[in-house]
Amino acid sequence: LREPGLNLRVVQLFRDPRAVHNSRLKARQALLRESVQVLRSRHRAEQRGPARHQQQHLLLPPGLLGGGRPPQPQHRAEFFLGGALEVICQSWLRDLLLARRAPDWLRRRYTQLRYEDLVREPRAELRRLLRFAGLTVPPALEDFVVNMTRGAAYSSDRPFLISARDAREAVHAWRERLSRQQVRQVEAACGEAMSILAY
């Protein structure tokens, strides 16, 4: 970040962890390998040094850890997805706390973007991001952002299919799809980061 030959800027994108968990559950098979890799990264970090917080496995389906048994095949994907989201939220919290304590030179080169803000005000957020990066806003890019967040479709059943859709609907989809228990578990696992991000 301090390399004089570079003009590096960092934009960190966040999304409501409840919506993240809902999306990850919807694409559970497509994300299984990624979730295992995320959990392995936590395991490697724990081997290097003592963990700051005791791991609580809050997002795992009830009974999966009882008696030391491995998860049943039908719950395996949810087991890994839930554990991976905990690791993601812990990583977010470290980043957010680092950004709060960052020196001025770092603050000038780092900004945060909430997905929900981009969806609600796509033009304003795009302008803010490009101003931060020192770039102009081409009208075609503005049109593209509005089209991608205000399309006619709601969502796709195919994970990672990028298409125009009404992203405003997707922002609150977790309210209809997650159980109260799942919402409470996500909020317990991600509460500190959610508070800093005003979720």
pLDDT tens string 149-160: 887 765 555 555
- 5 assigned to some structural domain: no
Identify any residues that bridge with 12 across adjacent strands, giving them in sequence order. 112
- 150 assigned to some structural domain: yes
pTM above 0.85, yes or no: no
* Cβ proximity of 13 and 115 under 8 Å: yes
- 152 assigned to some structural domain: yes
- 3 assigned to some structural domain: no
Share of the chain above pLDDT 70, in %: 69
- Is the backbone of residue 143 left (phi > 0), alpha (psi -120 to 50) or beta? alpha
Phi, psi of 187 (to 5 degrees): -65, -35
User: What pLDDT is recorded for position 26?
Assistant: 77
User: What pLDDT is recorded for position 15?
Assistant: 95
Sign of the alpha-carbon dihedral angle for 58, 63, 64, 67: positive
Helices vs. strands in the chain: H and E counts, helices first: 10, 2
Using the structure block, give the residue that is written with the tokens 């049109």: 143
Distance CA 194, CA 199 (A): 5
Distance CA 130, CA 122 (A): 12
Its domain, for residue 22, covers: 11-197
- 6 assigned to some structural domain: no
If one compares 167 and 20, the residue with the highest pLDDT of the two is 20
**184 pLDDT tier (thresholds 50, 70, 90):** very high
User: What pLDDT is recorded for position 36?
Assistant: 66
- 192 assigned to some structural domain: yes
Domain count, the chain: 1
Angle, CA 144 vertex, CA 143 and CA 149 arms, to 5°: 100
Q: What is the pLDDT of residues 15-71, one digit of tens each?
A: 999 999 888 787 666 666 766 677 777 656 666 665 454 444 445 444 443 444 555
- 25 assigned to some structural domain: yes
User: What pLDDT is recorded for position 97?
Assistant: 96
Distance CA 199, CA 185 (A): 15
